A and B are shown apart, each in its own frame.
Chain A
């Protein structure tokens, strides 16, 4: 892709916006359409675009597979961990009410925010991992 100036420049311009939009979808998911899954896919797609334009090696330097390996697991652990936290604080599994002892509604906000964050981390890591696995075949 070295000689294709337009895709390279456009990618450079768009990439921050794509990642920013992913974060918007992630954190606005509580109130509007969106959420962890969609945000994770957009975030992952940003890295995949980078890898398509600038090559797999550069993308691997930017987002090393070791980091992805942790990310894939970390998201699930955050999700399940929030559930267990509710259990430890005296509620049922995944009961967000108990996360804030004064204001259950705030606890619900916090719970869904953390859980969706976990979903986002795992989904984006899995997206990029799958891309690496396919793009890295035969190397």
Chain B
């Protein structure tokens, strides 16, 4: 079975999704979803171990040889992304059942469909990451996108419907652009396999068609990963989605879109075409800088804490794209390790917020007064996540900021390094606003708030402690990221 791990990585959540729909509501459906998610995590861990020990893995779907059949190809970058997605998927699925279901606007007999959509979203995200076929990327992109629209729309706030619809419109535009880009590449080369595309593209790279394909893919993935100024779908989608969904999507969906962008720019088109002929870094650099500053500033003025975290996500995506625009091993290491670190950070923050809103009823700032004393464990996890977001040493967030600054200084771009430090101070401001209200404002009279149940605290703290652990032991988050960055800059995987 070990040889079939790349296929099983996608097939296990895919098979479990319809099974969930057939199971009775309540415990069985939830258990099935959780088992499948943890199995996926186990497979991802085994895959990463195999890749690090023996190099890239290639799996031929249906036994059809490359480039005719679909190839699943796992190298250091894929395996690293698979681990991020599967780990967050497993931890979010372990979030207490009653709590998850209490946050949904669905009748009880429809709850199994929620788990079906969750597993389909996981399937899609894992599929995008594991496949080595450009069209397969699009198919899985649609699977994950359609199920995430459904997941967002079941939030209890009625605005969730509008948010999901906005996301649907923007996401469909993005996916269509990606499909057009892939179609144009297919027209020019007659192949969809990424390795084969990379080999055939240089011969036709001077044509307008390939340039158009490049432009479509750039804009399409930029919408999907919410790069400033194409980020406007994101704040509402995260703010009104049910808390576990917000935690899952914030930690994985945009990261996978960044992976798609990296894969196309570095592996398929190649560094020379993307950054020397097309000069993409000159576009990404200003957009990411403006995105970091403006989204951080907007985050400071939010009263809905979930919205605040959503804007902070846009700023963090700016950091990741800044690393890409440096086009160096240090810059890419920063970006790729920030994929991992930010998943831990936003996962723990959104889950801590889920605990708060479970007890308090809403994620609004004024409702959180005094929560620091009545829910010490929850807010403790929030503070650790917040410190990591700011980039305090000994937390995971520090690792990626460090590499980013090193990368900027290597290029002699010291204003960029100063800007990264200055915008970290903006993160201090918006995290401090929450901490101030939670710890220093008296709780309103007559309101009794209890600590969140253990079923919520355990997964939340697992992520919070991971923030501390990976701040000290960086062999996984920065070590493998460096390996992946070298792989990307060294040409085909």
A residues near B (Cβ < 8 Å) are 69-70, 72-74, 76-77, 80-81, 83-84, 86-87, 91-97
Contact = CB atoms under 8 A, between A and B. Distances in A.
Contacts of B173: none
B412 interface: no
Given A76-B18, A77-B18, A95 B4 contact: no
B63 A97 contact: yes
Contacts of A77: 15, 18-19
Contacts of A69: 21-22
B7 A87 contact: yes
Contacts of A74: 18
A73 B63 contact: no
Contacts of A91: 62-63
A81 B11 CA distance: 10
A73 B18 contact: yes
A44 B448 CA distance: 54
B62 A72 contact: no
Contacts of A81: 15
Given A93-B11, A94-B62, A96-B62, A87 B4 contact: yes
B419 interface: no
B340 to A, nearest CB: 28
B15 A92 contact: no
Contacts of B61: 92-94
Contacts of B7: 83, 87, 92-93
Given A80-B11, A87-B7, A92 B18 contact: no
B163 interface: no
A72 B17 CA distance: 11
The B contact surface, by secondary structure, is helix
Q: Which of under 10, 10 to 19, 20 to 34, or 35 or more describes the interface residues of B?
A: 10 to 19
Nearest to A96: B62
Interface string B61-74: 11100000000000
B18 A93 contact: no
A138 B209 CA distance: 50
Interface string B33-68: 000000000000000000000000001111100000
Interface of B: 4, 7-8, 11, 14-15, 17-19, 21-22, 59-63
Nearest to B14: A80
Contact of B63 (A72, A84, A95): A95
Given A87-B7, A91-B63, A97-B63, A72 B21 contact: yes
Nearest to A78: B18
Given A72-B18, A73-B22, A77-B18, A92 B11 contact: no
A78 to B, nearest CB: 10
Nearest to A97: B63
B193 to A, nearest CB: 16
Contact of A70 (B11, B15, B22, B63): B22
A72 B20 CA distance: 12
Given A76-B14, A86-B62, 15 more contacts: A69-B21, A69-B22, A72-B18, A73-B21, A76-B17, A83-B7, A87-B7, A92-B60, A92-B61, A92-B62, A92-B63, A93-B7, A93-B11, A93-B59, A97-B63
12 contacts: A69-B21, A72-B18, A77-B18, A80-B14, A80-B15, A81-B15, A84-B15, A87-B4, A91-B63, A92-B63, A93-B7, A93-B59
Nearest to B15: A80
A45 B61 CA distance: 33
A106 to B, nearest CB: 16
A91 B14 CA distance: 19
Given A80-B15, A87-B7, A95 B21 contact: no
B179 to A, nearest CB: 17
B153 to A, nearest CB: 13
A97 B61 CA distance: 12
A83 B11 CA distance: 9
A66 to B, nearest CB: 11
Contacts of B4: 87, 92-93
Contacts of B19: 73, 77
Contacts of A93: 4, 7-8, 11, 59, 61-62
**By CB atoms of chain A within 10 A, which of B11, B15, B18, B59 has the most?**
B18
A115 to B, nearest CB: 10
Contacts of B11: 80, 83-84, 93
Contacts of B21: 69, 72-73
A86 B62 CA distance: 8
Contacts of A80: 11, 14-15
Contacts of B17: 76
Contacts of B63: 91-92, 95, 97
Contacts of B14: 76, 80
**Interface pairs A-B: 6 shortest CB-CB:** A73-B18, A93-B7, A94-B62, A95-B63, A76-B18, A92-B63
Nearest to B7: A93
A73 B11 CA distance: 14
A126 to B, nearest CB: 12
A73 B20 CA distance: 9
A37 to B, nearest CB: 14
A49 B297 CA distance: 55
A81 B4 CA distance: 15
B120 to A, nearest CB: 10
B65 to A, nearest CB: 11
A122 to B, nearest CB: 9
Contacts of A84: 11, 15
B24 to A, nearest CB: 12
Nearest to A74: B18
